[in-house]
Structure formats: C-alpha cells, structure tokens
A and B are shown apart, each in its own frame.
Chain A
Amino acid sequence: MSDTALDITGWTCPAPLRDRPRVVMGHGGGGALSAELVQHLFAPAFGGDVLAQLGDSAAVSLGGVRLAFSTDSYVVRPLFFPGGSIGDLAVNGTVNDLAMSGAEAAYLSCGFILEEGVELPVVARVAEAMGAAARAAGVEIATGDTKVVEAGHGDGIYVNTAGIGIIPDGVDLRPQRVVPGDVVIVSGEIGLHGVAIMSVREGLEFGVDIQSDCAALGGLVRTMLAVTPDLHVLRDPTRGGLAAALNEIAAASGTGVVVDEGRVPVPAPVANACAILGLDPLYVANEGKLVAFVPREHADAVLDAMRAHPLGRHAAVIGEAVDAHPGLVVARTALGGTRVVDLPIGEQLPRIC
C-alpha cells in the first residue's frame, strides 16, 4: 500500500499515525495505537461486516453452522521462558481467542517463519510443545506452512496459528450484550505472563520464580457455560492486560465499568516487580486468564463453578458495569479514592527512577 492510498481525514484521533509516518512498536502493543491501526487502516482496506465486529475471533455462519474463526501471530522473545514457550503460546492463544466466543477449538493451522541458522533441535522443541499443548486443549493441528527467511531477517522462529470451532446454540458472547449491573469476574491472578517474560528477556531478577500462566481456557469456559449460556462477554486480557480488555469492552458496549482495585488478584511477586519497574499490573499481559461480564443473577453460581476448576481457583469479582461514564473504566482505589483506568497508548515503559 502506498502512502497516497491512506485516507486519514476520517480518522477519529488525529495524533498517532498522522504524527508517525512509520510503524512504531506501540502499533503492536495492544493499546490505542493498535486499535487505530486496525480500525483506520486495515478494516477500511479489507471491508466486510464480519471484521467490523472486531471481536477476539470472528463469528461466521457456514452451511447453517455458527463457527468461530481466529488467527494470531507469535513473535515472543525468548522462545522458551518460565512456564512455557512460543509453541505453547501459539496453540493456547488461538484456542483462547476461540473460547472467548464460547466456541471449543476444533482445528488449528500452523505457519512457521524460520530464520536461516536456527538449530533444528530448537525447532523440534517448539513443535513438540505445540503438539503437547494441542493434545491438552483437545484440538488438532490440521494444516500448516513453512517459510525460511535469510539470517538477520527474523528473530529465530515466528509462528502463526489460525483456528476454527463451533459456537454452541444459545451462546452469544459480544460486548454489545453488556448491560449496567453486569458483574465483572476475572479468572485468577493477573500479570504473571508479562512479568515472567520480562524477568528472562531483560535479565531482571526479582528474587522469586515467576511462571507464565500460559494455558488453554476452553475447559474453563465450558464449565462457565454449563452454569448459564447467558454470559454476556468474555475476553482474555493478553497484550495491554486487564486494563485494555476492560476498556475495549466498555468502549464497544457503551457502558461504564467500575473496578474495585483492592479486589483484583495481583500476586505479591508481580506487584513487587511492577513497583520496581514503575509498571501498573493492570496493564501487564496474561496468557491463561479471562475476564467475564456476567448477568448479576448468575454471578454467584458462575463464580463458584470457576473456583471449582483448576484454572479458576483464584477467580474473583472485581467490579461491575454501570450507567455512569459510558465507555470509560474507573477504579476505586484501596484507600477510597477513584481514578480513571485508561487504554494504554502503546507499550508500558519502565521509568527512569
């Protein structure tokens, strides 16, 4: 696409892309820059009603069957980290995107982009991790593709996965169904994946072993839907963390969200690492957590069912959808004050001191 093909006159926010004629890291950060890239560059170029819904996965009808369809690319460094690897991420991430539509993943595709010079045993370890993760998630890797780029043109191994699954009858998960009064539940402790990756990638030692929470959430979602198919929306708070997921739901639903900050489960090692680096745990990535907006009358039963599942042991009610401040997320602080929880702009940056 040439520069002249860009029509920026209709963009809602004039700042980031107009001011930045080139892609910056923040465009992939899961925050406002990412959203604007998708909404104002990709979506108009592609057209189509399905993409315009901009869910974690697309809900499509094919031959009378409702399918969830999703794709994701994985460019994580390092390839292996405490609690997982790029292979686990590539399977669980796409499985989870499908699960957020209520679908059980059935088949995945897998595309490898390998950098010349990568050792084959490393590729094998990634492939084995993918196979194991797929078996654990009950999904089959049905097709794939391999490309090799010249040395220096990649980062070892990049993986893309796409997946499809069937959405059960009666399940309709999307932000537009959120209504004031919905209870917000998070499935467990947040921030583990992001801090685990930082601890190895940046060579930071936090004095404790922090493992990524990377996991497939299909089983947990199935447990929740067994209580009631009337869940309103699910979202896995990956890049941009819980703050980005809640902001996206608030914006797309047109409701406000209030979070009780003291009830958000943040493990002490994550809180401490974030305090040292000047990061906010609400913005740190997760890979095995979900946030659910549940009708108030079902909230207790859903919470009980989640806590009975291994991946929902630390599930907690953290807030509610409200009439006030539509499109905005507000936190009640532990001391009794309030603050806005914004959509991150790009990536969080460690502070100077």
Chain B
Amino acid sequence: MKYIEEFQDPALARRLLDDIHATVTRPWALMEVCGGQTHTIIRHGIDQLLPSQVELIHGPGCPVCVTPLEVIDKALEIASRPDVIFCSFGDMLRVPGTGRDLFQVRSEGGDVRVVYSPLDALRIAQENPKRQVVFFGIGFETTAPPNAMTVHQAKKLGIPNFSLLVSHVRVPPAIEAIMQSPSCRVQGFLAAGHVCSVMGVREYPELAARHRVPIVVTGFEPLDILEGVRRAVRQLERGEHTVDNAYARAVRPEGNPAALAMLEDVFEVTDRAWRGIGVIPDSGWRLSERYRDFDAEHRFSVTGINTREPAECRSGEVLQGLLKPHECEAFGTLCTPRSPLGATMVSSEGACAAYYLYRRLELGAVPAAATAPTAASAPLEASPVV
C-alpha cells in the first residue's frame, strides 16, 4: 500500500501550492466539512503554507463533536446498568457528558467495551445471551451503513439482546443550515470524500446552484486537501459554482448502491439536534418503524435526563465556522484536552483539539513549559501494556 506516501509527497505539494498562489487574486473563505480534513490541515501545517487570502473555516463534520449532550447522557445512563454491555468506538469514551464520561462509567464498574466494528458488538451479544448489548451508533453517512447492516443482521438472525443507541447525522442539511445563517462567510466547500463515497454527489448540485458556492469533493491526505483547495479557488476566481469530484479514486457519482439500499431499509430521515448548533430539520436518521425493537432508547426507558452544558463553551460557534478555536476565551486555559468544556476539544477530530495539539505555541494560548509535567514519569511510563 503506497497511497499514503504518494499523497504526502512534498514536491507535488509544492507544485499545487505554487498553482494556488498563482491563481488567487482576492480573499476567499472555504469550509472543510470533515474533522478529519481539519486535522490533516493543521497537523501538516497546510494552512500556514496557503496564500493569506485563502482562509480555511472548520466545519461541523466531527461526528463525536456534534453528538448531542442528551444522547451522551443517555449512553452514560444505559452503560451504567449492571445488565448492559455497552460497546462504542474508542473516541466516544472520552467525550464529556454532564459531569462524566464513559471512561468514568467503566472505572465505576460499568461494562464499557471499545470495538472496531458494530459487528463485533453483535458477536458479543451472541456470546452473552443473558445480557443486553448496546452499540453506540453515531456518526455521519460513513458509519451509518455498517450500523444499519448490523441491525439488519440482528433482526435476520433473531438476536434479541442487541440494540443500537442511534444519533446519526447527515451532511447536506448541515451545509444548508450553515449557508442560511445570516453571519455565514463561507464561499466554497471541501466536501467530505468518505461521505460521498457512500452517498454519491446527487445531493450537492442543487445546493451549489442555490447558494452559488463551489463544492469540491475532497479526500484526506495533504495532496487531496491542496487539490481540493486548488479546484475550489479556481472556480471562485472564475465565478463558477459547480460540484467537482477531486476524490475520484474513491467516489463514484452514484455512491455505493449496496450501502444506500441498507440505509433505505433500516433508517428513516428525522430532525436531529447537533451539539452546539441545535436542531437541523431532516438532518439525521433514526431506526425505521420495523426495526424499532432494536432501538436502545425504546428498549431502555432513559428518562429524567438533565443536561448541563458549560456556559463558557462556544463550540457551537466553532462548529458553524463563526469562531476560530483560539478566539474562544476558554481555549487553552479553562478548556484543554485534559479538561475539555466541549466535544470539539476532546474529540480526536475536533477543531479545538487540532488547534490545541498542534498550534498552541504560535497562538500563544498556553505557556510552553506549563503544558508538560515538570519531571519524567519513571515507574509507570515504562510499563509495556499495549
């Protein structure tokens, strides 16, 4: 597998950058939709290398960040039950709910397990027929099809002790909501390549035309990002606003028919709340009526949830591209990856985490020497448990 190396080639990156520098004549603001793209941009310093006229605004595309606090709190309550094995992807475990996270639930005796596929959770359900196994089904169009398939399998195989806590969200309604905001500054989008590999691009031409914004389907390696920016800037300079697929090695215009069929079978579109943003019409999926038995919210009566967001957290504005992470007063002081106020700081794909991890030195957000322990940690650091 040589793809990663090839798509990080410094010489090719230089050529793309030269092209972008030669093309730009005035300021443009582009939004990268996906948190994975944000991390590539910040981790490789791409924003430092682009012309100053090209501003990259970080979008709401981190599935961990946008999962509503209420759903996190429901997950914490379900995971705390002694008869439940609660399965999740790893990066959800550190996301703060109201007062605690799934790691804390586990340290208090909850059976919380990290899995790499929802099918692993289904296998755990088969192996533990006397316990309820719940999978935390969050994410965008990328994670929805395998989660749908798992529920489909559970029904087909008649596995009664499996259920899904669902909080899936869809990208196009979020783009629509961002463009309708009066304070929106976005002039073009780098669409998330993996989302389009599932859904195709059929939802985008109307958005591009209606809001007169170029939408470039973009991958996740440094050269992918640069090529996406290059194509978007070219369109903007020419006054064009079309959908352009710069990730053709993974994205077919029609998407993935098998995945789309599975989504159609298992889910139905619903209004969905986004953490920090609010309810966006038709922006989510829930299990359809014939799969309602596998809905953890129905199976466990999770009531009496009182959510409490920290008042200082402005992650909603960050998620909408209205605020850069370091412009938040709490950034690097009240809010760090160790003590996050919001999910944008704790998630591995969150914009605030990217700025804190990779950029805080130049941003002057935190005194350098204060960020690391004052001495090395001998007895524990050498313990080789991996």
A: residues with CB less than 8 A from B are: 12-16, 19-20, 22-28, 30, 32, 34-39, 42, 52-58, 70-77, 89, 93, 97, 175, 193-194, 197-198, 202-204, 207, 235-236, 238-240, 244, 247-252, 254, 256, 262, 268, 271-272, 275, 278, 284-285, 287, 325-328, 330, 333-340, 342-343, 345-346, 349-353
Cβ 8 A contact of B90, one of A73, A77, A248, A350: A350
Which of B139, B194, B360, B377 has the most chain A CB within a 10 Å cutoff?
Answer: B377
Residues of B contacting A72 in the complex (Cβ-Cβ under 8 angstroms): 379, 382-384
**Are A352 and B379 interface neighbours, CB within 8 A?**
no
**Are A328 and B91 interface neighbours, CB within 8 A?**
no
Residues of B contacting A54 in the complex (Cβ-Cβ under 8 angstroms): 375-378
Residues of B contacting A244 in the complex (Cβ-Cβ under 8 angstroms): 381
Against A, the Cβ 8 Å flags (1 = close, 0 = not) of B363-379 are: 00000111111111111
Interface residues of B in 344-374 (CB under 8 A from A): 348-349, 357-362, 368-374
Q: Cβ of B339 < 8 Å from any Cβ of A?
A: yes
**Are A327 and B368 interface neighbours, CB within 8 A?**
yes
Chain B, Cβ-Cβ closest to A89: B384
**Are B384 and A193 interface neighbours, CB within 8 A?**
yes
**Are B368 and A238 interface neighbours, CB within 8 A?**
no
Quick one: given A349-B91, A351-B348, A352-B139, are A194 and B386 in contact (CB under 8 Å)? yes
**Are A272 and B4 interface neighbours, CB within 8 A?**
yes
Report the Cα distance A73→B383, complex, angstroms: 6
**Are B103 and A25 interface neighbours, CB within 8 A?**
yes
Which of B42, B94, B106 has the most chain A CB within a 10 Å cutoff?
Answer: B94
Quick one: given A327-B372, A352-B63, are A198 and B1 in contact (CB under 8 Å)? no
Residues of B contacting A207 in the complex (Cβ-Cβ under 8 angstroms): 1
Residues of A contacting B64 in the complex (Cβ-Cβ under 8 angstroms): 352
Residues of A contacting B103 in the complex (Cβ-Cβ under 8 angstroms): 20, 24-26
The 5 A-B pairs with the shortest beta carbon distances in the complex, nearest first, are A337-B45, A15-B339, A349-B90, A35-B377, A339-B358
**Are B373 and A19 interface neighbours, CB within 8 A?**
no
Cβ 8 A contact of A239, one of B116, B338, B362, B383: B383
**Are A268 and B89 interface neighbours, CB within 8 A?**
no
Binds A, one of B5-13, B20-28, B208-216, B274-282: B5-13
> For chain B, which range describes its interface: under 10, 10 to 19, 20 to 34, or 35 or more residues?
35 or more
CB distance from B229 to the nearest CB of A (A): 13
B: residues with CB less than 8 A from A are: 1-2, 4-5, 8, 10, 13, 36, 42-49, 63-64, 89-94, 103-104, 106-108, 114, 116, 138-140, 142-143, 194, 222, 336-339, 348-349, 357-362, 368-386
Quick one: given A251-B372, A351-B90, A352-B89, are A198 and B386 in contact (CB under 8 Å)? yes
**Are A340 and B384 interface neighbours, CB within 8 A?**
no
A-B contact pairs, 19 of them (CB 8 A): A32-B373, A37-B380, A54-B378, A56-B382, A72-B384, A73-B383, A74-B385, A175-B376, A239-B386, A244-B381, A247-B372, A272-B1, A272-B4, A328-B372, A333-B45, A335-B44, A335-B49, A337-B46, A337-B48
**Are A343 and B373 interface neighbours, CB within 8 A?**
yes
Which of A175, A325, A353 has the most chain B CB within a 10 Å cutoff?
Answer: A353
Residues of A contacting B369 in the complex (Cβ-Cβ under 8 angstroms): 251, 254, 326-328
Residues of B contacting A328 in the complex (Cβ-Cβ under 8 angstroms): 361, 368-369, 371-372
Residues of A contacting B372 in the complex (Cβ-Cβ under 8 angstroms): 32, 247-248, 250-251, 327-328, 343
**Are B43 and A333 interface neighbours, CB within 8 A?**
yes
**Are B44 and A28 interface neighbours, CB within 8 A?**
no
Cβ 8 A contact of B42, one of A35, A75, A339: A339
**Are A34 and B361 interface neighbours, CB within 8 A?**
no
Chain A, Cβ-Cβ closest to B339: A15
**Are B380 and A28 interface neighbours, CB within 8 A?**
yes
Which of B91, B338, B369, B378 has the most chain A CB within a 10 Å cutoff?
Answer: B378
Given A20-B104, A338-B45, A339-B45, 16 new contacts (CB under 8 A)? A15-B339, A16-B338, A24-B103, A24-B104, A27-B380, A55-B376, A56-B382, A93-B384, A251-B376, A272-B1, A275-B4, A333-B45, A337-B46, A337-B49, A352-B90, A352-B139
**Are A22 and B339 interface neighbours, CB within 8 A?**
no
Report the Cα distance A235→B337, complex, angstroms: 26
Cβ 8 A contact of A12, one of B63, B336, B374: B374
Residues of A contacting B385 in the complex (Cβ-Cβ under 8 angstroms): 28, 74-77, 239
Residues of B contacting A28 in the complex (Cβ-Cβ under 8 angstroms): 380, 383, 385
**Are A353 and B140 interface neighbours, CB within 8 A?**
yes
Chain B, Cβ-Cβ closest to A20: B104
**Are B4 and A349 interface neighbours, CB within 8 A?**
no
Which of A57, A73, A197, A198 has the most chain B CB within a 10 Å cutoff?
Answer: A73
Which of A23, A193, A335 has the most chain B CB within a 10 Å cutoff?
Answer: A335
Quick one: given A55-B378, A352-B143, are A285 and B368 in contact (CB under 8 Å)? no
Residues of A contacting B106 in the complex (Cβ-Cβ under 8 angstroms): 24-25
Residues of A contacting B94 in the complex (Cβ-Cβ under 8 angstroms): 346, 349
Chain B, Cβ-Cβ closest to A27: B380
Report the Cα distance A309→B63, complex, angstroms: 47
Cβ 8 A contact of B386, one of A23, A197, A339, A343: A197
**Are A35 and B381 interface neighbours, CB within 8 A?**
yes
Report the Cα distance A350→B10, complex, angstroms: 27
Report the Cα distance A54→B380, complex, angstroms: 10
Report the Cα distance A32→B36, complex, angstroms: 24
Cβ 8 A contact of B373, one of A39, A52, A285: A39
Residues of B contacting A58 in the complex (Cβ-Cβ under 8 angstroms): 378
**Are B44 and A351 interface neighbours, CB within 8 A?**
no
**Are B368 and A256 interface neighbours, CB within 8 A?**
yes
**Are B373 and A334 interface neighbours, CB within 8 A?**
no
**Are B222 and A335 interface neighbours, CB within 8 A?**
yes
Residues of B contacting A39 in the complex (Cβ-Cβ under 8 angstroms): 373-375, 377
Which of B107, B338, B361, B385 has the most chain A CB within a 10 Å cutoff?
Answer: B385
Residues of B contacting A326 in the complex (Cβ-Cβ under 8 angstroms): 368-369
Report the Cα distance A42→B377, complex, angstroms: 11
Residues of B contacting A42 in the complex (Cβ-Cβ under 8 angstroms): 379
Quick one: given A339-B358, A340-B360, are A248 and B382 in contact (CB under 8 Å)? no
Report the Cα distance A71→B4, complex, angstroms: 40
